[in-house]
């Protein structure tokens, strides 16, 4: 029996994607081999990766002057790739909306020291809101402005993008990837680890404006961390994480079948509303995020009583609701309700919460 | 129907591993989720990665003073990690036995320039042999000596390790990983991409002597490329390629069941002998490697006639023998016969080659 899996990532995937993968495991469409066993230089695999790229381009309406790269190392490795590839003046502006934005900023300091500037932060209130980014003190010679667009741990999301004052915007969308339509042209770089909303851990997808992909990288940049190496070789400079990309491709097809990113947004808004509406009227549970900054993907909530929180997580688990424990820095609970979480999962969770509230009033 | 897959990598995996993975795809052992969907911080996943580490430690008899790291980026990324983590004097000795050793050497030059020295090479004869490494001009202050132990493209393998004159030995074993017993204590670092003999592309396994894992790395080393980051966090600093590691773990179990690395060596020797014995007496086909340096894993051979080579590859494919085309730098054919290639596969290939020889005499 499948559980309702509210994990923040790796996270729930569409059941039909998993079924297809299982069916194709020993023989991918008459090739006589698993996708795991295929040469990455074979025609069969080339079709898989090319089609995956085409599908994500369709879904996100990615303009021709942006490259789509399938990379490795997770967002944490990409934190280094951003300064290595983009820093010309060794100056960049970071907006600190949580742990991951902070880690990205710290990584940039390895290369730029004080040149990596935190221009705004919501650390004062445990990152429970998105700061006003309409008029930030962005250094004029900043190479880019960096944000983490959806903050997995804290459950916040930018509803409007920062005013970058003409600078390149770099955005980590790991936990909101493909959850709603995006205007790619507003970004220089959009990237994310796939393990939350797109596929199995081990792939980073980076969508990068072509003019930002150059040989002019910081000295000491490894060949593989230079975006140009990957762009010039269509992500096949060396063996990519073939199977992981194949699963991502299946998820792209599933999203297309569901109606694309507009439909996905409606689906996610509907799910999130069920949960937030309940939280807003509950006398026991309460959301931790400023309402206007709430994420559609990650919903942290607390009872205000650590023992009661622990009791809830334990009883929820016993009832088939997995991974509801909140991140240690926020405490309480967190329900991650990514694309593949069915509405039924959220409905049943709220039903369970109501019952728990009645029993523990 | 499954084919006989002679791909150099990604490559054939044990059929029972794939079957188990397919069976567990929607519900891993009663957890109600796929391993792809599991939090890397969950108990279930922790058991998987810990058991994988234990099993490879058992198989390779890895001493306690060596760490086992599960990394990303392929061997190509590790080419940079070696100098970044080991260079103190910016001096290292590389033995050039093929394209991958050469690429590793070139990568080291990014960090050390002329300090990365090629101390031997077999480029003069298209890398068809392993140079004499008993008395090489290794610089006294070299930080390490680097080899690619089995050369996938050229089909050569070191039968004795180089005399490093007391220096640390770093070895890329991507294409001979777990193919036979290894004395780990002779190395400072043993590493390889898993996609040839161990699992699905997207994982590098590195076995590193603990004293070589320090904070003393080159300036500008990304956090994730510093081995200490990974070692201190048991390869869970960030989300690892969870599913890929899970499949590697299944392959470790399969090798244990087959009798461990001694049994694997016997199995591989038996397979290779069938093919080499045939090549040595064939009037049409001939092996390209000096007999004493022949790999058990990758067997390149030619007819000496490019048209006939192409005809062979085409007819072999039609008969269910896949991926026999040789690397463009060697030409002809190459049969990669990794652990998971059954003896039957090699027997049938030789049968087919005999038939082809008779028809094309």
* DSSP code at position A50: H
Look at residue B361 and tell me whether its pLDDT is greater than 90: no
Average pLDDT over residues B284-292: 97
Residues of A in contact with B7 (CB under 8 A): 37-39, 42
CA distances in angstroms from B213 to A346, B68, B69, B91, B209, listed in the order given: 46, 11, 11, 18, 7
ipTM beyond 0.90? Answer: yes
Residues of chain A contacting residue B9, judged by C-beta atoms under 8 Å apart: 39, 239
Residues of chain B in contact with residue A220, where contact means CB-CB under 8 angstroms, are 110-111, 218-220
Mean pLDDT for the stretch of residues B275-283 = 98
The whole-model pTM stands at 0.98
Q: Are B173 and B207 in contact (CB under 8 A)?
A: no
Percent of residues in chain A assigned helix, strand, coil, to nearest 5: 40, 15, 45
Confidence tier at B330 by pLDDT (50, 70, 90):
confident
pLDDT averaged over chain A?
97
> Which pLDDT value is given to residue A329?
83
**B351-356 LR contacts (CB < 8 Å, sep 24+):** B352/B316, B352/B319, B352/B321, B353/B278, B353/B282, B353/B285, B353/B312, B354/B278, B356/B284, B356/B312, B356/B315, B356/B316
Catalytic residues of A: 100, 172, 196
B100 in active site:
yes
Q: Looking at residue B8, what DSSP letter applies? A: S
Q: Which residues pair with A192 in a beta bridge?
A: A205
Q: Which residues pair with residue B333 across a beta bridge?
A: B301, B325
CA distances from B132 to A44, A243, B124, B137, B164 (A): 41, 40, 14, 12, 12
Nearest alpha carbon to residue B254 among B182, B339, B345: B339
Q: Please give the C-alpha separations between residue B67 and each of A72, A343, B171, in angstroms, as whole numbers.
A: 22, 44, 15
Q: How many C-beta atoms surround the C-beta of residue A24 within 10 A? A: 16
Nearest CA in chain A to B73: A72
Domain annotation for chain B: domains and CATH numbers: 15-257 (3.40.640.10), 259-360 (3.90.1150.10)
Enter the DSSP assignment of A187: -
- Where does the pLDDT of residue A1 fall: very low under 50, low under 70, confident under 90, or very high at 90 and above? confident
Judge whether residue B38 has pLDDT over 90.
yes
Q: How far is CA B189 from CA A176, A229, B61, B71, B72, in A?
A: 39, 26, 15, 14, 16
How far away is chain A from the Cα of B295, in angstroms, using its nearest Cα? 20
Q: What is the dihedral of CA A294, A258, A206, B237, to 10 degrees?
A: 60
Q: Which pair of structure tokens corresponds to residue B76?
A: 């190509």
Per-residue pLDDT at B1: 83
pLDDT recorded at residue A63: 98
β-bridge mates for residue B298, sequence order: B336
Q: What is the pLDDT of residues A29-71, one digit of tens each?
A: 999 999 999 999 999 999 999 999 999 999 999 999 999 999 9
Question: Cis omega (within 30 of 0) on the bond before A10?
Answer: yes
Minimal C-alpha gap between B135 and chain A (Å): 31
- The residue from B55, B91, B100, B105 that is catalytic is B100
Nearest to B112 by CA among B137, B139, B88, B95: B88
Residues A349 and A272: their CA atoms lie apart, in Å, by: 12
Are A243 and B75 an interchain contact pair (Cβ–Cβ within 8 Å)?
A: no
- Look-up: residue for tokens 């192409």? B310
Distance in angstroms (rounded) separating the CA atoms of residues B24 and B250: 12
Residues in CB range of B216: below 8 A, 6 or more apart: B88
Task: Please write the tens of the pLDDT for every residue from B247-269.
Answer: 999 999 999 999 999 999 999 99
For the segment B137-157, the average pLDDT, to the nearest whole number, is: 98
Task: Tell if the CB–CB gap between B10 and A323 is shorter than 8 Å.
Answer: no
């Amino acid at each position: 029996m499948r559980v309702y899996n509210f994990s923040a990532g790796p996270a729930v995937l569409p059941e039909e994607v998993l079924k297809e993968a299982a069916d194709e495991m020993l023989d991918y469409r008459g090739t006589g081999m698993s996708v795991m066993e295929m040469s990455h230089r074979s025609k069969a695999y080339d079709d898989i990766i090319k089609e995956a790229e085409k599908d994500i381009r369709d879904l996100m309406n990615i303009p021709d002057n942006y490259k789509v790269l399938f990379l490795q190392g997770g967002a944490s490795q990409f934190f280094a790739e951003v300064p290595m590839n983009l820093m010309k003046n060794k100056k960049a502006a970071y907006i600190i909306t949580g742990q991951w934005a902070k880690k990205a900023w710290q990584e940039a300091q390895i290369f730029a020291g004080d040149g990596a500037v935190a221009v705004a932060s919501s650390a004062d209130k445990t990152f429970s809101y998105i700061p006003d980014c309409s008029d930030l003190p962005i250094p004029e010679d900043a190479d880019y402005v960096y944000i983490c667009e959806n903050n997995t741990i804290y459950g916040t999301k930018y509803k409007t993008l920062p005013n970058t004052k003409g600078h390149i915007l770099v955005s980590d969308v790991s936990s909101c990837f493909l959850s709603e339509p995006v205007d790619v042209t507003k970004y220089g770089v959009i990237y994310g680890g796939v393990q939350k909303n797109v596929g199995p851990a081990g792939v980073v997808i980076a969508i990068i404006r072509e003019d930002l992909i150059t040989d002019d990288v910081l000295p000491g940049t490894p060949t593989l961390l230079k975006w140009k190496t990957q762009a010039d070789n269509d992500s096949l400079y060396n063996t990519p994480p073939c199977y992981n990309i194949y699963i991502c491709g299946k998820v792209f097809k599933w999203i297309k079948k569901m109606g694309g990113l507009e439909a996905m947004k409606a689906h996610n808004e509907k799910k999130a509303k069920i949960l937030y509406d309940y939280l807003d009227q509950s006398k026991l549970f309460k959301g931790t995020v400023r309402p206007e900054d709430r994420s559609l993907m990650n919903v942290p909530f607390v009872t205000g009583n650590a023992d009661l929180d622990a009791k809830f997580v334990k009883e929820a688990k016993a009832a088939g609701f997995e991974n509801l424990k909140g991140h240690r820095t926020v405490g309480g609970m967190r329900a991650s309700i990514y694309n593949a979480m069915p509405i039924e999962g959220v409905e049943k969770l709220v039903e369970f919460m109501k019952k728990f509230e009645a029993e523990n009033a």
